[in-house]
Amino acid sequence: MTIQTLKSQNLLLFEVISGSKSFGLNTPTSDTDIKGVYYLPKEQFYGLDYIPQVSNETNDEVYYEIGRFVELLIKNNPNILEILATPDDCILYKHPLMEKLQLKDFLSKLCKDTFAGYAMTQIKKARGLNKKIVNPMAKEKKSLLDFCYVLKGYDTVSLPVFLSEKNWKQEHCGLINLPSSKEMFALFYDATTALGYKGIVQKENSNEVSLSSIPKGQEPVGYLSVNQDEYSKYCKEYTEYWEWIAKRNDERYRTNQQHGKNYDSKNMMHTVRLLQTAEQILQKGTLNIKVDNRAELLAIKAGEMEYDALLELADTLIASIDKHYQTSTLPEKPDVEKAIENLVAIREILYS
């Protein structure tokens, strides 16, 4: 099932322009995001080939099967509620049956957890980007050898330095376990290679050191410590960093570098917007996604606010959300039974 199939077979029930253009936050470089709702051909819906969601490769066009759409509305999923609340000037197509799904029937106090909860994950995500921006990682990956250390009196010296000072090769080394110790080894060296030592690692990308058979009478040249935990942590961070490099939005990354605040300013803009939306829902019992503070939000996107100031703003909004939650006349959760009745009625008409 593709988006083209949905359109060619007239399966669409709802199609809207979403994202920054529907919020009134678009700029000349903004993409056009499209969201929608569809129903499946009768054979697929009643058969074994149920498809809850269809999207394009970049995920800027996403369509939800009507049942999945209602399910997420009941949960007060922010993205889905915002689709239903799309202003008229951003609606591309609306089937008359969609009138059975009224926004007022789904707004509830659940938004405190869904909108505000999601916003808090965005705060963590924005801060997490700081490490990647400020601490770029070298493309050449370190090996386990870089996390090995040789005891030297009351100190340690890194294995590469130790070997370099002695003009030794790691391939000529041999290791044996030290009894009752973790990641500690006796280190031997054979410049002739006659003793058949296996080296400290047998391959450049080895995740563990190699052990050798050491003939009796051989004296260790030192004792080796392997920081396996630190190496595992490094490998994880290295993979995450270079995956981020491959997938990052370069224009967005340049903006973050230019404003120099070391956080993802676009994420922080949407964080504040989500919190303000939750406040609006609980205070007024409505959801108008077209913002009335465009200048403020775009200033956040441009990195004109310090991160700590944004956290203070978020804390203020969360306090306001908690306050309005206590006095809100909205139900604790949507009327699930009514939502299902409307869904069934829609499907009965579609499949009759």
Query: Rounded distance, CA 62 to CA 56, Å?
Result: 7
Q: Are residues 80 and 203 in the same domain?
A: no
Q: Are residues 115 and 92 in the same domain?
A: no
Q: Are residues 176 and 266 in the same domain?
A: no
pLDDT of res. 121: 77
Q: Which of 29-38, 130-139, 143-152 has the least mean pLDDT?
A: 130-139
Question: Is residue 142 included in any domain, yes or no?
Answer: no
pLDDT of res. 214: 95
Q: Are residues 205 and 269 in the same domain?
A: no
Residue 244's pLDDT band (cuts 50, 70, 90):
low
- Mean pLDDT (the chain) is 90
Q: Are residues 280 and 350 in the same domain?
A: no
Domain that holds residue 312: 108-136+249-330
> Which candidate, 113, 37, 111, 117, places its Cα nearest to that of 76?
111
Q: Are residues 163 and 225 in the same domain?
A: yes
Q: Are residues 15 and 102 in the same domain?
A: yes
- Whether residue 245 has pLDDT greater than 80: no
Query: Rounded distance, CA 164 to CA 145, Å?
Result: 13
Q: Which of 36-40, 99-103, 267-271 has the least mean pLDDT?
A: 267-271
Residue 137's pLDDT band (cuts 50, 70, 90):
confident
pLDDT of res. 127: 58
Q: Are residues 274 and 293 in the same domain?
A: yes
Q: Are residues 131 and 255 in the same domain?
A: yes
Q: Which of 194, 229, 264 is the last residue of a domain?
A: 229
How many structural domains comprise the chain? 3
Question: Is residue 101 included in any domain, yes or no?
Answer: yes
Query: Rounded distance, CA 229 to CA 232, Å?
Result: 5
Query: Rounded distance, CA 88 to CA 27, Å?
Result: 20
Question: Is residue 238 included in any domain, yes or no?
Answer: no
3-state secondary structure at position 226: strand
Q: Are residues 26 and 85 in the same domain?
A: yes
Name the token pair of 28: 């000349």
User: What CATH number does residue 96 fall under?
Assistant: 3.30.460
Q: Are residues 212 and 350 in the same domain?
A: no
Q: Which of 229, 264, 295 is the last residue of a domain?
A: 229
pTM over 0.75: no
Q: What are phi and psi of 201, to 5 degrees?
A: -130, 145
pLDDT digits (tens, 9 = 90+) for 146-199: 999 999 988 999 999 999 999 999 999 999 999 988 899 999 999 999 999 999
Q: Which of 101-115, 117-131, 326-340 has the least mean pLDDT?
A: 117-131
pLDDT of res. 189: 97
Q: Are residues 191 and 159 in the same domain?
A: yes
CB 87 within 8 A of CB 22: yes
Which residue blocks in 47-147 are alpha helix, DSSP H?
66-74, 78-84, 111-134
Question: Is residue 224 included in any domain, yes or no?
Answer: yes
Question: Is residue 145 included in any domain, yes or no?
Answer: no
pLDDT of res. 186: 97
Could you give the strand order of the β-sheet that contains 91-94, starting from the edge strand earlier in sequence? 53-55, 61-65, 33-38, 12-18, 91-94
Q: Which residues pair with 156 in a beta bridge?
A: 151
